[in-house]
Amino acid sequence: MSRKYFGTDGVRGKVGDFPINPSFAMKLGWAAGTVLASTGTKEVIIGKDTRISGYMLETAMQAGFSAAGINCALVGPMPTPAIAYLTSTFRADAGVVISASHNPYYDNGIKLFSNSGTKLTDAQELEIEFLLDQAIYHNAMTCVDSAKLGKLRRISDAAGRYIEFCKGTFDKDKSLTGLKIVVDSANGAAYHIAKEVYAELGAEVISINDKPDGLNINERCGATHLDSLQTAVMVHEADLGIALDGDADRVLFVDHNGHAVDGDEILFILAQAAQAKGELQGGVVGTLMSNLGLELALKEMDIPFVRAKVGDRYVVEQLKQTGWQLGGEGSGHILSLKHTTTGDGVVASLQVLEAVIESGKSLADVKSVMTKLPQVLINVRLNANNADEIIAAESVKQSVLAAEAFMGERGRVLLRKSGTEPLIRVMVESTCAEMTQTQAQSIADAVKLASS
């Protein structure tokens, strides 16, 4: 059974439009609270990123939870993985993150975590969606007796607790002393967290894009826009740069030459380091979008590699099925179940820094062992929410078949809808850069024509 409201990363959309409005948020709080209360839930932790709409949605969610008899603990702007950690450490029964991750400020979203710090199961989300429909279309939202209404409290030391957790994942016998690091927090949830973590571990830190105003989150900065970080690394002659996204669940690097280091390369660096220490448990989980170069490089090292569906929740599922610990996506969602239950940009960055220090080499040298194949990703924005219909269009299917026939065994095509935005992602990968670009553009043009 397909889900109606929950995408690959919770509920997401443009603020003011259904479903990201106060009415829906309140009903979602009530529906989630009702489902969670049936399993004994008493309190949820609510965090958010730095979008101006976070205040509105936070208040609405709180009202819905209270109506279901659930207490709320507010932590303010905090990274998504911090909420997963705090939910567990505070012994809360569930966690809520109000964020649209890497999207612009005018979007927002709502993600729910279980008491173990993992995302809710599909079954739980379907049960919540059933109650949501009852509340939205049948006015079936109820309220517990006044004496049983949920209460509110604020947790003032949440940031400090999370900073100490992050530092605790770094080898206590090592430090970042001697490293000059530029940190780009994307004017997002880690603006007051990331720079403190690296500085307290000994690094010289230059912090950029750390002054959120509610509107500038992800605006030409962070993990989705590396230009400002690349410039800063070169200007400050830094050893490397670290870019987080708006909710700090993904991370990318820039080496001392100003070259980007993506999630596939990060996975390789971590796998290589873990294998060298005899600490790699099993293999590595990537996704259908992972660069073939990663798979080939891991194969050279006799490290197993499997692909999951796109989305960190599916990477986690595959890791649990295999019993492995390391996985992620090219976009920078890195899962290290040895340290965290969900993608954590700050923690992943510390593991990369540890690997670089242990190697005695620069980040550029460490990543150079892996050779990426030319890969082109084109995002085609849609005017309507009809991605499935467009992907199934005969003209689009024929363009994909033509590209596959032309490339043969030299390349591959992946066409998929975004789980968070009205987009169709066209990915083409092959042994030839020019062929990759030409075939990707041809398919993208067919998608645009079918959507017009």
Catalytic residues: 101
* Residue 125: closest CA among 310, 319, 321, 313: 313
Residues 6+ apart with CB under 8 A from 196: 163
Q: How far are the Cα atoms of 251, 287, 290, 324, 433 from residue 295, in angstroms, in the given order? A: 20, 11, 8, 16, 18
Q: Where are the beta strands (DSSP E) in 233-362?
A: 240-244, 251-255, 260-261, 284-287, 305-308, 326-328, 334-336
* Residue 367: closest CA among 284, 227, 280, 273: 273
What is residue 290's three-state secondary structure?
coil
Measured in residues, the chain has a length of 452
With the C-alpha atoms ordered 220, 224, 227, 229, is the resulting torsion angle positive or negative?
A: positive
386 touches 380 (CB < 8 A): no
Q: Order of strands, edge to edge, in the sheet holding 411-417?
A: 375-381, 423-430, 411-417
301 touches 374 (CB < 8 A): no
What is residue 303's three-state secondary structure?
coil
What is residue 381's three-state secondary structure?
strand
Helix (H) or strand (E) holding 14: strand 11-14
Q: Is the peptide bond before 19 cis (omega within 30 degrees of 0)?
A: yes
261 touches 355 (CB < 8 A): no
Rounded Cα distance between 185 and 229, Å, is 10
**Type of residue at 308:** A
